C-alpha cells in the first residue's frame, strides 16, 4: 500500500511536470471555494497556490462560505479581475451553471474542481467518487456483512453525494436484495455539516430504537457527528465509514470508533489541477492534457473531459501509510490509543 501511495504522488508530480507550460508566466489562476470550514480545502488551496506561484503565475481565490448566492457573486468578482482560468468547487452544482456560462462568455477557461457541474466546456478534476463509495461499503461490510445499515449522505445539491451512494449500492446490492442487509435510515445532510449529520444520526437511532449495526457516512466531518451520536448511546465502536483522510478521522480509525477513512490526497489533487490550469492558460486543448479521459456519469449525462485520481483506504491495518507519506504524524494518529493495540502506533 505504501508503494501505491508513492506511485500516486509520483504520478501527480509527473502530470504537473508534463503539463507545465514554459511560457505561462504572468497568467492568473482563480479558485472559487464553496467553503473553507472543512479542513481539507485549506490543504487543496495550499497545493494549488504553490504550483501556480512556482510557475511565475498569480493565484487569487474567494470563499463562498457555504452559500450558492455568495458563490455567484464571488465568481462575478473573479471574472472582473480577468483571470485566465477559474476553478470552481461548486456549493450547488445546478445553481452554479449560470456562473459557469458567464465564465465561458468572458473567454475564461473553467475547471470543475472535485465537485462536478455539468458543462461540456469545463474540465472536471476529482477522485473517483463512485470508487470511494465502493471502498467505504467494502470495508464496513467486511466487519458487518449482515445487519441494519444507516446511510448518512452528503448535501443533496452536491452530485458527489449521489456518486458515493451509487458506489455503496454497487457493493451492497446483493446483500440488500438477499435480505442480509437492511437499509433502516437514509438521509441527505445539509452542507455536509457534522452537527447536521449528528442530528440525522440521532433521529435514526431514535426511529430504530438504537437497532443500527453499521453506518456509511459519506465524509469524515459527518462521521465525527455520527460517532458523537453513537457514543452518547454507548454504541461507539460499531463500523462507521467515511472519507477525506481528515486527521481526526485517522485518529478515530486508530481508536476503533471509525472503520475506514478513504484518503483522497488533496495535495495530489491540487497539484494535478494547478498543472492542468496552467496548461489551459497557455492554450493547451483540454483533451490534450495528460491523464484526460471522457466522463459522462453525471445526472444529465453531459460528456466532459475529466481527470479522475485513485483514492486510498486508511484502516487500522495500514495507518502507517498515511504516517509514512507525511500526511499525519504518528503522535496525531495515535493520540489516546492504548499501547500495543495498533501496529502503526507501537
* Residue 38: predicted pLDDT: 79
* Residue 322: predicted pLDDT: 94
Mapping DSSP to helix (H, G, I), strand (E, B) and coil, where does residue 77 land? helix
**Cα(196)–Cα(46) distance, integer angstroms:** 28
CB 52 within 8 A of CB 83: no
CB 255 within 8 A of CB 270: no
Which residues pair with residue 28 across a beta bridge?
Answer: 58
Helical ranges in 144-265 per DSSP H: 159-177, 194-208, 220-232, 247-255
Q: Does the pTM of the predicted model rise above 0.85?
A: no
**Cα(15)–Cα(290) distance, integer angstroms:** 6
Nearest to 75 by CA among 45, 42, 31: 31
Looking at residue 82, what DSSP letter applies? -
For the chain, the distance separating the N- and C-terminal CA atoms, rounded to the nearest angstrom, is 19
Adjacency order of strands within the sheet including 240-243? 181-187, 147-152, 214-217, 240-243, 260-263, 312-314
Those residues with Cβ within 8 angstroms of residue 329's Cβ, 6 or more apart along the chain or in another chain: 323
HSE-up of 232 (CA within 13 Å, CB side)?
Answer: 13
Burial of 278 (0-12, 13-18, 19+ CB in 10 A): buried
What does the DSSP assignment read for 258-319? -SEEEE--HHHHHHHHHHHHHHHHTT--GGGSTT-EEE--STT---EEEEEEPPEEE-TTSH
* Residue 202: predicted pLDDT: 98
* Residue 25: predicted pLDDT: 61
Those residues with Cβ within 8 angstroms of residue 3's Cβ, 6 or more apart along the chain or in another chain: none
**Cα(289)–Cα(311) distance, integer angstroms:** 21
Q: How many CB atoms lie within 10 A of CB 71?
A: 26
**Cα(80)–Cα(75) distance, integer angstroms:** 9
Residue that is written with C-alpha cell 452559500 in the block: 67
CB 55 within 8 A of CB 310: no
Q: Which residues of the chain have pLDDT under 50?
A: 1-24
- Ordered by where they begin, the domains of the chain are 2-127+265-310 (3.40.50.2300), 129-263+313-340 (3.40.50.2300)
Amino acid at each position: 500500500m505504501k508503494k501505491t501511495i508513492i506511485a500516486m504522488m509520483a504520478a501527480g508530480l509527473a502530470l504537473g511536470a508534463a503539463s507545465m507550460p514554459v511560457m505561462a508566466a504572468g497568467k492568473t489562476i482563480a479558485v472559487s471555494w464553496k467553503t473553507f470550514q472543512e479542513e481539507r480545502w485549506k490543504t487543496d488551496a495550499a497545493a494549488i497556490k504553490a504550483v501556480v506561484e512556482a510557475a511565475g503565475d498569480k493565484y487569487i481565490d474567494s470563499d463562498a462560505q457555504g452559500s450558492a448566492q455568495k458563490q455567484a457573486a464571488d465568481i462575478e468578482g473573479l471574472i472582473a479581475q480577468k483571470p485566465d482560468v477559474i476553478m470552481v468547487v461548486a456549493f450547488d452544482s445546478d445553481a452554479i451553471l449560470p456562473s459557469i456560462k458567464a465564465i465561458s462568455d468572458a473567454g475564461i477557461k473553467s475547471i470543475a474542481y472535485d465537485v462536478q457541474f455539468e458543462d461540456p466546456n469545463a474540465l472536471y478534476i476529482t477522485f473517483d467518487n463512485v470508487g470511494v463509495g465502493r471502498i467505504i461499503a467494502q470495508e464496513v461490510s467486511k466487519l458487518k456483512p449482515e445487519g441494519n445499515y444507516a446511510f448518512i449522505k452528503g448535501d443533496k445539491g452536491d452530485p458527489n453525494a449521489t456518486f458515493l451512494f451509487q458506489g455503496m449500492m454497487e457493493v451492497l446490492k446483493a446483500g440488500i436484495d438477499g435480505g442480509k442487509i437492511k437499509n433502516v435510515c437514509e438521509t441527505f445532510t445539509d452542507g455536509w455539516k457534522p452537527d447536521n449529520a449528528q442530528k440525522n444520526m440521532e433521529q435514526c437511532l431514535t426511529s430504530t430504537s438504537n437497532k443500527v449495526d453499521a453506518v456509511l457516512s459519506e465524509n469524515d466531518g459527518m462521521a465525527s457527528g455520527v460517532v458523537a451520536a453513537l457514543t452518547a448511546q454507548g454504541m461507539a465502536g460499531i463500523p462507521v465509514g467515511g472519507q477525506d483522510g481528515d486527521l481526526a478521522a485517522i485518529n478515530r480509525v486508530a481508536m476503533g470508533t471509525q472503520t475506514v477513512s478513504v484518503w483522497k490526497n488533496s495535495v495530489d489533487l491540487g497539484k494535478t489541477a494547478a498543472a492542468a490550469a496552467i496548461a489551459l492558460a497557455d492554450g493547451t486543448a483540454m483533451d490534450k492534457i495528460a491523464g484526460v479521459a471522457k466522463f459522462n456519469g453525471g445526472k444529465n449525462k453531459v460528456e466532459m473531459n475529466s481527470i479522475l485520481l485513485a483514492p486510498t483506504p486508511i484502516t487500522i491495518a495500514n495507518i502507517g501509510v498515511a504516517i509514512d507519506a507525511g500526511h499525519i504524524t504518528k503522535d496525531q494518529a495515535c493520540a489516546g490509543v492504548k499501547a500495543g493495540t495498533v501496529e502503526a502506533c507501537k
